[in-house]
Amino acid sequence: MYASMTTFVDRLDRMQTQPGSLLSWGCPVPFFGDLSSARFATVGINPSNREFMDVRGRELQGDQRRLPTLRSLGLTRWGEANALHLREILEACALYFHRNPYDRWFGVLEHVFEPSGLSFYGRNPSACHIDLVPFATRTKWTLLPGDERRRLLASTSDALGLLLRDSNVEVLMLNGRSVVDHFELLTNVQLDCSAMESWNLRRGDSPTVRGFAYAGIVHQVGGVPLRRRLRVYGYNHNLQSSFGISRRVVSSIGRWFESIYVPAAA
């Protein structure tokens, strides 16, 4: 993973001086959990700013710190990072769920795939998380201007492929319609889509938001050959932010995935 991390640090260093909402003092976060041993990974858009700061926008310190920053590493810019700094970042990413994970976000995903015997947590975790864009932004992704979202996605189009190529991951779960849409662009594959009535979100007098499940097989991501088949599943709701998401819907998605998931070793 050192080669990929070097690439991400170099890109972040070049992007530091560009205008925009990039949280440039926070390290690249290519994965959460032990990617080297995981066979299953969830996929999101980009790391939350809460990985680096509290609700008041102050940098997390001491035991509350989740991931390295320029300050914690004693750097003024990412171009100064050496092999020791890269190792510290990689270790923090791999041990993320053993320290101070952002449970409010990851706990929802855990409820989805826990019935399938998978988990981010514990002494022998079986799952990890990867984001399409390995850089945090100061504001939520949905609040960024469209041109900035497109620029960030374009500048990291090979990130997911590089990470998957060097991992043992064989099954992906895409979290939300935005992730599904961009993943299809990265792979040039249209995933099979099925309507799921039990996932419909009812919002009072507003129209019902229908639920959809996705499934497919890919062999490359972002132009990076994987040298193996990768099973991909997903759902259109962003479980952490979609208004109207209930425990019933989360449980239904979990039962669906349990019914189709086959462990990689089987």
Give 90-133 as a DSSP string. HHHHHTGGGS---HHHHHHHHHHHGGGT--S-SSS--EEEEESS
pLDDT at position 242, please?
59
Q: Report residue 163 as tokens.
A: 């990470």
pLDDT exceeds cutoff 80 at 252: yes
| Contact yes or no for 41/206 (Cβ under 8 A) | no
* 18 band by pLDDT with thresholds 50, 70 and 90: confident
CA distance 30 to 159: 8
Q: Token digits for 44?
A: 């999101």
- Assigned CATH class of 29-50+101-260: alpha beta
* pLDDT in the model for residue 264: 58
- For residue 8, the one-letter residue type is F
pLDDT tens-digit series, residues 20-35: 899 999 999 999 999 9
Delimit the domains of the chain by residue range.
29-50+101-260
Residue 266 has pLDDT above 50, yes or no: no
Tens digits of residue pLDDT in 79-116: 999 999 999 999 999 999 999 999 989 999 999 999 99
